[in-house]
Amino acid sequence: MSLAERAAREARLVRQATIAAACRKCEIGYTRCNNVYGEGDPCASLMVIGEGPGETEDRLGRPFVGRAGTLLDQMLAAIDLPREDVYICNTVKCRPTFKEGEKLRNRPPEPFEMANCRPYLDKQIEIIAPKVILALGAPAAKTFLGPKFLITKQRGIWYEGPAGIPLMVTFHPAYVLRQTGNTMIGVKREVWHDLKLVRAKLQEATLPSEAPEIEQATLFEV
Ligand code: SF4
């Protein structure tokens, strides 16, 4: 990728982020602190898409920070991908919340919010043109695969994503963190299965003859 192309993509992403930051199509556009557009390599082969910003992401204006973000970084490192080499964003750019007393709590995005925000996501995909998309969690999967998608039964296989880009779905790191004991071990095993498929697909797309075997990462030892 030439430096000029990289700079052009960066500039387009900055322009789009500015447009998204001014958006108030949904009520959550008024309750959020920051519009969390996305971050990462504008020339990334892998685009990771979660459901929506949580409290920490909203406060810092960055996707996947906090505990779930740290686990995502570990998941990516397990397949030899530093976070900086990936592009990370969400289906909605504003934090979906509900009020509990005086506090705002996280909730999954509503389908109409994902639909409202879809043009921003589509534009990101168009600019970055990744080789593979990894959707984290059921809401992110549903934005591409429809409302009936069942993550427990339908993750871990390849789908044709937007613009024909191979799409994999796995569990959201926040979901992994909520599990305990043997359930967590089982979920980690499934995530590891999915990540290995992602790695293999990326290697197939970039260096078909030089794909090294990857070892199971400590994080996912069971
Ligand atoms: S979630 Fe998306 S569409 Fe809705 S207000 Fe925020 S930026 Fe606009």
- Judged against a pLDDT cut of 80, whether residue 209 lies above it is answered with no
CA pair distance 145, 9, nearest whole angstrom: 27
Whether the predicted model's global pTM rises above the 0.85 cut: yes
pLDDT at 194: 98
Per the prediction, the chain carries an average pLDDT of 93
Q: How far apart are CA 167 and CA 141, in angstroms?
A: 9
Looking from the CA of residue 96, the nearest atom of ligand 1 is 1
pLDDT tens figures, 22-64: 999 999 999 999 999 999 999 999 999 999 999 999 999 999 9
Q: For residue 1, name the pLDDT band (cuts at 50, 70, 90).
A: confident
Atom index in ligand 1 nearest the CA of residue 29 equals 5
H-only helix segments in 22-137 = 28-31, 55-60, 66-78, 111-128
Task: Delineate the domains of the chain, giving CATH numbers in brackets.
Answer: 3-209 (3.40.470.10)
For position 175, what pLDDT does the model report?
96
Q: Where are the beta strands (DSSP E) in the chain?
A: 39-40, 46-50, 87-90, 97-100, 103-106, 132-136, 159-160, 166-170
Residue 162 confidence (pLDDT) above 90:
yes
Give residue 212's pLDDT band: very low, low, confident or very high (50, 70, 90): low
Beta carbons of 79 and 199 less than 8 angstroms apart? yes
Alpha carbon nearest to ligand 1 atom 4, residue:
26
222: confidence class by pLDDT, cuts 50, 70, 90: very low
The answer to whether residues 15 and 127 touch, using CB atoms and an 8 Å cutoff, is no
What are the pocket residues of ligand 1 if the criterion is a CB atom closer than 6 Å to any ligand atom?
A: 20, 23-26, 28-29, 35, 92-94, 113, 116-117
**Residue to probe by mutation, ligand 1, list 34, 92, 107, most atoms within 8 Å of CB:** 92
Q: Which atom of ligand 1 is nearest to the CA of 116?
A: 3
